[in-house]
Amino acid sequence: MPGRPATGKVYAHAKLRRLRRERGMNQVDMARALGISTSYANQIEQGTRPLTVPVLLRIAEVFGVDAEFFSQADEDRLAADLRAALADEACGVPLPAAEEITEAARGHPEVARALVALHRRYRDAAEQAAALAAPGPDGGAVLPPGEPHDEVRDFFYAHHNHFEALDTEAEHTAAAAQSGPGGAAEPLAARLAGRHGVRVVPAAPGRAADARRFDAANGLLFLSPWLSDGQRAFQLATQLALLEHGPLLDALTGGAAELTSAESVALARIGLANYFAGALLMPYAAFLAAAEEGRYDIELLSARFGVGFETVCHRLSTLQRTGHRGVPFSFLRADRAGNISKRQSATGFHFSRLGGTCPLWTVYEAFSARGRILTQVAEMPDGKRYFWIARTVTRGGYGHHAPRAEFAVALGCGIRHAHKLVYAEGVALDDPRAATPIGLGCRICERRDCAQRARPPAGSRLAIDPDRRTHVPYPVERRTP
């Protein structure tokens, strides 16, 4: 049945071992606290026995962690990163089998993270060496910039795209503003003026493409005149977050191990301010209740809360409050060229930053069906299936000569949650034949029966057809004349 819980066994030996060591306990102490035998505790830590539901709940109670702590999403993502690192042709090492990589990530996550970090440092060093060999216009070395966007993505992923403190503050602000859905712009503008002495003025048409520009010296907030009411309210709420909750933003980003540069921290603060804005316009409890009542109908939620399709999708990917969770979604925005400009996830679905994306993914088909919502059941190489919806959105275009930007927005969840979505009506969720086999991108995908492949399967050698003089992604036999 569509809503049936997953029956896979939970092996949490690495996570349990880490929890025990962090508390300064030995296996005897842990067994006593959990009310199980020492031999059973040892077998759990060795990965030879899975966790039962009563033991899992007892661990959550004793160690003060949420049951979701033992989700395999983090391990799956780490396995994908490890596979991408080992598949790098520059490393020149044979690619282990997919199940061995997964076992390494789950059984020895710290070692796997160290290997991934080592690979990233190797790539950075290689890029710097190449830059040093190519002097800039002034004769000096040109060092490549870092990748703050990747670090910020990792930062949000580490928090499962949910920040309870920001949600709580946003709910308080929404209640104080006493604004109904779709009517928040004026109360927010009044709050900025009354509490912070900030006056909101329209920017000159055509002066800049920025939606918001703050002149702190003169207390002026310039907003694009082309913003809709919902977009205007979102920009006002973002500025309010930066002015009223600076210490909270600093606390959330200050000790984050994922953010290693000032650029990453600054970008993460903006991302958190945007998170606050979405949470203010769509307060957690009210928004989740509306989403569940309407079976996650995005267009209905967009009309009810006065915000755009993309904004609703982004907010849906953040509903992971402990004890009051929504469907765990992954959210993504891409352009026609495959550039991913937004990627947030509360699920185990993960595309490697090195592996690219899969052309069979419905997010790219959306460009051929502008404005229509497309659905897809996608199956990953490990057999996990996800339900995706995708639709195009357009930015700009105010005036005949104005440039327009078009993106595809996608929202996906594990197949066991799909029955909760209105878009899954009439879809054969349980039929394996209805699923589209996709991968982690051609560079690290091991599928050998894909007609859309751009590179040989991971772990195989590149063959050359002697008759056609073309590269083929599978072994070929040399034909005799």
Domain 327-481 part of CATH 3.30.70 = no
What is the pLDDT, as a whole number, of residue 469? 42
Q: Torsion-angle region of residue 161: left (phi > 0), alpha (psi -120 to 50) or beta?
A: left
Which element (helix H / strand E) includes 5?
Answer: none
- Cα–Cα dist 91/123, whole Å: 10
Higher pLDDT, 368 or 59: 368
What is the pLDDT, as a whole number, of residue 473? 43
Confidence of residue 288 (pLDDT cuts 50, 70, 90): very high
Sheet holding 199-202, edge to edge: 199-202, 220-223, 212-215
194-203, 234-243, 443-452: which range is least confident on average?
Answer: 443-452
User: How large a percentage of the chain has pLDDT more than 90?
Assistant: 41
Q: What is the pLDDT of residues 24-34, one digit of tens each?
A: 888 898 889 88
Q: What is the mean pLDDT of the chain?
A: 82
89-98, 122-131, 377-386: which range is least confident on average?
Answer: 122-131
Q: Which CATH number fits domain 148-307: 1.10.10.2910, 3.40.1160.10, 2.70.98.40, 1.20.1250.20?
A: 1.10.10.2910
User: Residue range 471-480: average pLDDT?
Assistant: 39
What residue spans define the domains of the chain? 13-70, 73-144, 148-307, 327-481
Measure CA 36 to chain center. 37
What is the pLDDT, as a whole number, of residue 7? 42
3-state SS assignment for residue 81: helix
Greatest alpha-carbon span in the chain? 87
3-state SS assignment for residue 397: coil
**Buried b or exposed e, range 81-101, using 16+ CB within 10 angstroms:** bbbbbbbbeeeeeebbebeeb
Confidence of residue 49 (pLDDT cuts 50, 70, 90): confident
User: Residue range 207-230: average pLDDT?
Assistant: 86
Confidence of residue 423 (pLDDT cuts 50, 70, 90): very high
- Cα–Cα dist 384/387, whole Å: 10
What is the pLDDT, as a whole number, of residue 458? 61
Q: What is the pLDDT of residues 72-118, one digit of tens each?
A: 667 777 787 787 777 776 666 777 887 788 778 777 888 888 888 78
Confidence of residue 401 (pLDDT cuts 50, 70, 90): confident
- Cα–Cα dist 385/412, whole Å: 10
Domain 13-70 part of CATH 1.10.260.40 = yes
**Tokens for 399?**
């005036």
DSSP symbol at 424: G
Confidence of residue 282 (pLDDT cuts 50, 70, 90): very high
- Cα–Cα dist 430/51, whole Å: 27
Asked whether the predicted pLDDT for residue 300 surpasses 80, the reply is: yes
3-state SS assignment for residue 66: coil
Confidence of residue 172 (pLDDT cuts 50, 70, 90): very high
Written as one letter, the residue type at 357 is: T
